Each structure stands twice: as structure tokens, then as C-alpha cells.
Amino acid sequence: MTRWIDLEGAVNARDLGGLPTRDGGVTRRGRIFRADNLQGLTPADVALLVGELKLRHVVDLRSHAEVSLEGPGPLTLVPEVTHHHLTLFAEGGRHTDVEADTAPVPESIDGDRVLPWQEREVDEELRVTGFYFGYLRDRPDAVIDALRAMARTDGAALVHCAAGKDRTGVLSALALELAGVTRAAIVDDYVATGERLELVLKRLRASDTYRDDLDSRPADDHMPRARYIEQFLQVLDDRFGGPLAWLTAQGWTAADTEAVRARLRD
């Protein structure tokens, strides 16, 4: 059974249900969704998400600049839906998630100290994973609040950014880790965006907000690769004792973990 949600105005929407867990279970469908930019949702899309899928919470990880340039989206007009705007970029910083594909290694990421490379050379893993750690470094409060919003019990939740790949990928990976999903399945969910990447890039190139960033590199450079999220999770393991330990250090509680598990598990 497919996890994809077919929408007219978004191309990278899928359910975090149906994924295997470490204890032999499977995550529940219809509880937490992930997606790309929701600006183009049609009335039929809204009816599907809100009416049929009971969407009640949207976690928007876009920056303030993106929301200002692109608009808040049609779901903000739906009274049943609560919006949680939680940017993962530091205020005054750069504003598109495609920069995880295009930006140089963040200057504040010390490869020798933060990332346990055997070879001290700048490569794709360092650049992309360094960008992902920038989310955690710059906005740990937003990471915590986003995960808590995703665990609300009064209906389904959806987390999204622009491409639904980097920021959404990190938050989805953390939620799935908390729910006890196998690492292999977390990686599979992350790379699944590659199946829709051509459509994602086509949509983003239609926007002045994202076009220049995207066109600065070949399309293949935007592909989500398994080693990026694997390295991200491995560094959390090696440096902090795992994603849960990092979250706990930011104020995450056992009750928060149980809330996420209750949302995604039977």
C-alpha cells in the first residue's frame, strides 16, 4: 500500500505510517504526514487533507522570508487547521532549504571536531550534514516545538518546508527515531523524495524565491542520498548518545517521547 498522498498542488506528500519498527511493529497511517510547499493546494486538495485525512495541525518549517515571499498558503484559511510556523534558520540568515544543496560548508561547523571523518576533506556528506546540524544548533527550540506539534492528538499533523527534503527530512527522521522505526526504514523514507525530485524541482523553479538557488547546480546535486541522513544520525549517536539524548539535553521529556510513540504506534 503506497504511502504517497496524491495532491494536485504538492508533489512530495506522504504518510509516515507503514514503516517497520525495531520491535517488529509498523507505524500507524493517517497520523503524521510530510510534504513539500503547500502554496499550490487546490480546493480538492484541501478537502482531501482536512475532510478525509482529518488534518488539524500544519508544522511549517519555512523561514519568515519564505513565508513573506511565497505566502502562508491556503490551509491558513481553514479554521479547523492550526498552524505552527517554526523556522529552522537563525533569524537574519539565508532563507531557502535548497541551500542545503548549494551552500558551502557552514563556517561554524568544525569538521574535525563535530564530524568524525577519517579523511579531513570537504565532501558532500560534510556539506549537507553540516547544514542539517545547523538546524539543531541554531533553532533547537523550533525542533522541539515542531516535534511536539507533530504529536498533537486532535487530528493528523503535517510537517513541510519548500522541497520537503532537508528540513522536513530531519524532523521526520527524528520523529521516526522516537517512534522506534528501524534506521534502514528511516533512511528509506528520507531517500523516497528522490522518486519525486524532478517534479519537486519543476515546482520550485516556477518560483522566483527558489529558482536562482536551484539553477546554480545540476539537478542531480539536489538528490537526497542515503549517506547524508546516515551520517547525520551517526554523528548524533557518536557525539550525544543518540537523537533522544540530544533532544533531552534541549528540554525534551519522557512524556514527549511517549506522545510521539502514541501517535505513530498502536
What is the C-alpha separation between 227 and 225, in angstroms, rounded?
Answer: 5
The predicted-structure confidence for 185-243, as pLDDT tens digits, reads as follows 999 999 999 999 999 999 999 998 888 877 777 778 889 999 999 999 999 999 999 99
Cα–Cα distance, 56 to 79 (Å, whole number): 9
The full DSSP string for 89-132 is SPTTS---TTHHHHSPPPTT--HHHHS--SS----HHHHHHHHH
SS3 210: coil
- Taking only the tens of pLDDT, the chain with its 266 residues reads 689 999 999 999 999 999 999 999 999 999 999 999 999 999 999 999 999 999 999 999 999 989 999 999 999 999 999 999 999 987 544 445 555 554 544 443 333 333 332 333 445 666 778 889 999 999 999 999 999 999 999 999 999 999 999 999 999 999 999 999 999 999 999 999 999 999 999 999 999 888 887 777 777 888 999 999 999 999 999 999 999 999 999 999 999 999 999 999 97
Grid coordinates representing 200 are: 519537486
